[in-house]
Each structure stands twice: as structure tokens, then as C-alpha cells.
Chains A and B, each alone.
Chain A
Amino acid sequence: MAPKKDTKETSATTKTKDTAVTASAKKTTKPAGSATTTTTKVVTKERKEKVQTKALKAKQRVVRGNKLTRNRKIHLKPTFRRPFTLRLQRQPKYPRRSVPKRNRLDHFAIVKYPLTTESAMKKIEDNNTLVFIVNIRANKPMIKQAVKKMYDVEAEKINTLIRPDGEKKAYVRLKADHDALDVANRIGII
């Protein structure tokens, strides 16, 4: 018991600022007294433990010293590039639009109607192609898909042009296993 108390007292005296430790030093001396005599105050076990941990911490701090400076990184290059920081994904608390926008350029809107002019008829017979007037905002892959969905035909290639009156004309060449004439009959062009 005695040697342990001695180390505590020395550590306490080195740290003059810490009043609590000096108080504990006072406290520690008391039990020494009480060990010999029975008249002094009894120190509870919890109080003793608390005092001991405080003294221990003070001792540790003295040994390691106050860390006032941080570990500074050494920069070997003259440029500073922003380090990678945490980038969180969006977790919206509410959708901005209650209903998502509906696609206004669906296959019904893309293909307007087929052409039935003489030159279009010629194309059907000779070149296995159908000629459609198409929505001007549609592009070739869109037209291909739309025609497939509407009329159940596969297109080999599509050529488009914009007419002087602002409409888009699409020449849809069908694949060899389709017959444009039959398809035209089915649609109702002929």
C-alpha cells in the first residue's frame, strides 16, 4: 500500500496546476493516517478508485506531453489538388413530380399515316418499301421500332427527309422476308 501511495504523491506534486490531484494527494494522506488511527474519516471504495484514475491520467499526460501540434503532411509537389471527399447519393425526401412525365412520342404518335401517292405506290411494288409520314421529332431508330410495333414488320433500312411543308417522310425498306404489297393490303393503303 505504501509504495503505491508514494508514486501517486510524486506525480501529484509535479503537476502543480491540477488542483484535483493536490486534493487527491490530501485525500491519500488521510487514509495513511487512518490506517494507523481510527479517528479520521473513512474513504469509500468508489472515491478511492476515482482518485486513483485521475492521478493515473495526470501521470500519463506528464509522460506523453500536451499534443499542441498536429502531425503535418509533407507536400513534395508544388501543386495542391483537392483530395477526394465523400460524395453521397441523393436520398430525396419527396419526388419533385408526383407523377412521372408520360412519353408523348410513343409509337402511335411517331407514325402518322402512310403515303398513297403514285411514287409511293411505285416504291411498294418495286423496292419493297413503305412510305410513311412521320412525326418530325422522330429519328430513324425510333421509326424502326414504331413501325415494328404498329404493323409487325421488320425494317431493313430507313431513309428520311423533311418535306418543304414541314412534315417528315420516311422510306421504310422492309426485310426480304416481308412483302410490302401484302403489308400495304393489310394496312389498307392499296
Chain B
Amino acid sequence: MTRIKCSKLRGKKPDELQKQLTELRQELNTLRVGKVTGSGGAQKLGKIRNVRKSIARVLIVTHQTTKENLRSLYHGKKYKPKDLRQRKTRAIRRLLTPKEKSIRLKKVQRQQWAFPQRTYAVKA
């Protein structure tokens, strides 16, 4: 069996990938039956691993492309699904945003503008 490559899979359409997935799974099923009945031999038994990994590849590609499409769909929107938001850590997500932190009283703003911290230097 030829090795399925992810790069080849990414070009395919989603329904094509689905079809390939069902084919692979059926093949795996027959191989498993063969394993139990004792037919085939070493070659067929080794094939099981290849098929399992191919199934994994197809699923990876399917999932990655759908996620990518969804991210571009929700790009720039205010409300995104939670798994498309930044993960970071729970505590960091609950911190004040940089904008919220930089809010100052009007009085304080004026003071800072009028009396900034000066630095002096002595001329040698």
C-alpha cells in the first residue's frame, strides 16, 4: 500500500476525504477479521499499523482544515467560540486588559502631563 501523505491530503475536498476515511476504516475492519481468522501472515498484520496511521492522518487533515476555515470566519468578530480564543492561562484571561489598566482619572492625566518626571544631568 502506498504511503498516504498529509501534503497530498490537504489538496482534497472534504467529501473526498470523508470517502477515503470510510474506505480506510473498512479496510481496517477486514484486516482485523483476518487477524482473528489467522489468514494473511506477517505482511497483512503489518499493514494494520499503516492503515491506522493513515486514518489518523486523514482525520488530522480534516480537522485542521475545518479549524482553519472557522478561524478565518470568526476573525475580527467580537464573540468567538471558546476554543478559538486565546488559551494562555485561566488567571491571565481574567486579568485587566492593557487598555483597562491604563485608565486614569482626568485629574491624574492632567498632572502627569503638566508635571512629568524630569531627568537632569550635570554638565561635566
Q: Do the two chains belong together in a single complex?
A: yes
Q: Which chain A residues have a beta carbon within 8 Å of chain B's beta carbons?
A: 93-99, 108, 111-116, 150, 187-189
User: Are A98 and B84 in contact, with the CB atoms below 8 A?
Assistant: yes
Q: Let me know if B41 is at the binding interface, CB within 8 A.
A: no
Q: Which of B29, B32, B36, B81 contacts A98 (CB 8 A)?
A: B81
User: Are A96 and B32 in contact, with the CB atoms below 8 A?
Assistant: no
Q: Which of B26, B28, B81 contacts A96 (CB 8 A)?
A: B81
B77 cross-chain contacts in A, Cβ below 8 A:
94
Residue interface bits B76-106, CB-to-A below 8 A is 1, else 0:
0101111110000000000000000000000
User: Are A97 and B81 in contact, with the CB atoms below 8 A?
Assistant: yes
> Top 5 nearest A-B pairs by Cβ distance?
A98-B81, A94-B79, A113-B32, A93-B79, A108-B25
User: Are B81 and A114 in contact, with the CB atoms below 8 A?
Assistant: no
Enumerate 9 A-B pairs (CB-CB under 8 Å) in ascending A order.
A94-B79, A98-B80, A108-B26, A108-B28, A114-B33, A150-B29, A188-B37, A189-B33, A189-B37
User: Are B80 and A114 in contact, with the CB atoms below 8 A?
Assistant: no
Q: How far is the CA of A111 from the CA of B29 in the complex (A)?
A: 9
In chain B, residues 35-91, which have Cβ atoms closer than 8 Å to a Cβ of chain A?
A: 35-39, 63, 66-67, 70, 74, 77, 79-84
A97 cross-chain contacts in B, Cβ below 8 A:
81-83
A150 cross-chain contacts in B, Cβ below 8 A:
29
User: Are A112 and B37 in contact, with the CB atoms below 8 A?
Assistant: no
User: Are B33 and A95 in contact, with the CB atoms below 8 A?
Assistant: no
In whole Å, how far is B28's beta carbon from the nearest beta carbon of chain A?
8
Residue of B nearest to A111 (CB): B29
B29 cross-chain contacts in A, Cβ below 8 A:
108, 111, 113, 150
A contact face: mostly helix, strand, loop, or mixed: loop
Interface size class of B (residues with CB under 8 A): 20 to 34
In whole Å, how far is A134's beta carbon from the nearest beta carbon of chain B?
13
Residue of B nearest to A93 (CB): B79
Q: How far is the CA of A109 from the CA of B63 in the complex (A)?
A: 19
Q: How far is the CA of A153 from the CA of B63 in the complex (A)?
A: 33
Residue interface bits B13-40, CB-to-A below 8 A is 1, else 0:
0000000000001101110111111110
User: Are B33 and A98 in contact, with the CB atoms below 8 A?
Assistant: no
Q: How far is the CA of A189 from the CA of B35 in the complex (A)?
A: 10
Residue of B nearest to A106 (CB): B25
Check A99/B66 contact, CB under 8 A, given A94-B79, A108-B29. Answer: yes
User: Are A116 and B80 in contact, with the CB atoms below 8 A?
Assistant: no
Q: How far is the CA of A108 from the CA of B32 in the complex (A)?
A: 12
Check A188/B39 contact, CB under 8 A, given A96-B81, A98-B83. Answer: yes
Q: Which of A93, A96, A99, A187 contacts B33 (CB 8 A)?
A: A187
Q: List 20 extra interface pairs beyond A93-B79, A99-B67, CB under 8 A.
A: A94-B79, A94-B80, A94-B81, A98-B80, A99-B63, A99-B66, A99-B70, A99-B83, A108-B28, A108-B29, A111-B29, A112-B32, A113-B32, A113-B33, A113-B35, A113-B36, A114-B36, A116-B36, A150-B29, A189-B37
